[in-house]
Amino acid sequence: MTTTPDIKTGTRMTLAEFLDLPRQEQRCELIDGVVYMAAFPIPDHQFLATVLSTHLVLQIMETGLGIVYQVAGVVVSDSSALGPDIVAVRSERVGIIGPTVIDGGPPDIVVEVLSSNRHADLVRKRELYESAGVPEYWIIDGDANTLTVLELAEDGTYSERTVLTSADTLTTPLFPEFSLPLARLFEHPARVRAHD
């Protein structure tokens, strides 16, 4: 009889051990050989990820331009596997998608909605996505109602292409047909935000 290992934040393991874990009820990521368990995201975090993902699915996946996932496992180094809130892969690159995780190369776009651990998203995950060669990293700040687009430059480092607000329209050269006025995200009539 096999037992499920007791996984908690701070557990050290190799990438192979991490990928061999049984499915977890709780979201977890491996960063530099250390497991990090995530609390349930707040409703606004889920709302923003769901609305953006829906528009990406309708304009990218439903038109055959690529595949869009919410919280797909992405191997970004030999000691790190992350679970971005949204992942987009162009149709000509779907071969990078393995049976359990994306491990055959970097996705075209990863999206993180900032959570309580903003440092991880803004610093360490940025470094990992950058070194893995992810062409675009989108960061949504639900508190500030901004979407920052980081773009991989020719030298392999991220540069900030733009910081968008609800007055702007999100586009990307990776999917030229995609266009989303961000008022549909940040000012969506169904959005419920926590009050201070």
| pLDDT score of 82 | 95
| pLDDT score of 189 | 93
Q: What pLDDT digit, counting tens, does each position of 19-54 carry?
A: 988 876 668 899 999 999 888 888 999 999 999 999
**Is residue 169 pLDDT above 80, yes or no?**
yes
Question: Residue for token digits 């920052």?
Answer: 148
Q: What pLDDT digit, counting tens, does each position of 51-74 carry?
A: 999 999 999 999 999 999 998 999
Per-residue pLDDT band at 195 (split at 50, 70, 90): low
Q: With the C-alpha atoms ordered 99, 130, 125, 190, is the resulting torsion angle positive or negative?
A: negative
- Cβ-based burial of 32 (10 A; exposed 0-12, middle 13-18, buried ≥19): exposed
Helix H or strand E segment including 48: helix 43-56
- The average pLDDT across 157-171 equals 97
CA distance 59 to 44: 23
